[in-house]
Amino acid sequence: MAGRTTSKFAVTKVRLNEERTQVTQVDTRADTVAGEEPLEIRVDGQTLTTTMRTPGHDVELAHGFLYSEVHIQAARDIESAKYCEGTTRDGVNTYNLLDIEMRDDNVISLKELRLTLTNSACGVCGTSSIEELAKKTRYPIPHVPVDPLVIAQLPDRLREGQKQFRKTGGIHAAGAFTLGGEPIVIREDVGRHNAADKVIGHLLMEGLLPASDLILVMSSRASFELVQKAAMAGFCQLVAVSAASSLAVDTARKTGMALVGFARGDRFNLYSGDLK
């Protein structure tokens, strides 16, 4: 599995002069790119979703996805998670089909499971409004003022855990950090929503939810989907290194979550919440 998180290709690298008026260098060399493969998640034999992801921590991803979508209430709702041996490429298991078996007393009905086809840029679809999210949210989000000195450290601390990003330059990361800025778990994926699901899945499986005293840090922009996932897991703060969308800001303010964007070096934007 680890070898599939990245791939190497021969690429032509081109460099121009400072004026960008002529080519000064052309050479061919090996380049490392982030791995991207489909993962089909089946629940009790029924296909629930197919998402394009970076292989690795797939069981955490499945737990996080099912939890964010309110298909499960706790890790104990899942009896087992295993790769289907029948899915092969040239006789070798692709590890791209994950079978989830629910407990017999699980409260989620198969009739409630919807077929969702997503890709690595799409995120979780189906929650159409802030009001609907507010009805589904499990935990009240506590008001925790943002500490500027901690926020300033978080992007660099997230980057320290981005092993695949250092190899490829093309993969997102999500991390759960304490209010003091210490990392609890960091996960990477070509899809920012998958990276968040892996983090949430890890916390769920470790019995660390609700994340009311944790900060979710993203290497991407802050979208509605990410605020949605953070709210479902009970995070009190969401920090992104890039911009926040209008719906993300509205949702954060509605749920009471502190939302930070453009967290880069010595500056950031506070879209929701208060400073410490």
**Which residues are annotated as catalytic?**
122
Backbone angles phi, psi at 41, to 5 degrees: -105, 120
Quote the CA–CA distance of 244 and 275 in Å, as a whole number.
18
Length of the chain: 276
Q: Which two tokens stand for residue 229?
A: 């996932």
Strands 37-43 and 97-102: parallel
Tell me if 142 sits within 8 A of 235, measured CB to CB. Answer: no
Tell me if 10 sits within 8 A of 28, measured CB to CB. Answer: yes
**Helix H or strand E segment including 178:** strand 172-178
Tell me if 229 sits within 8 A of 197, measured CB to CB. Answer: yes
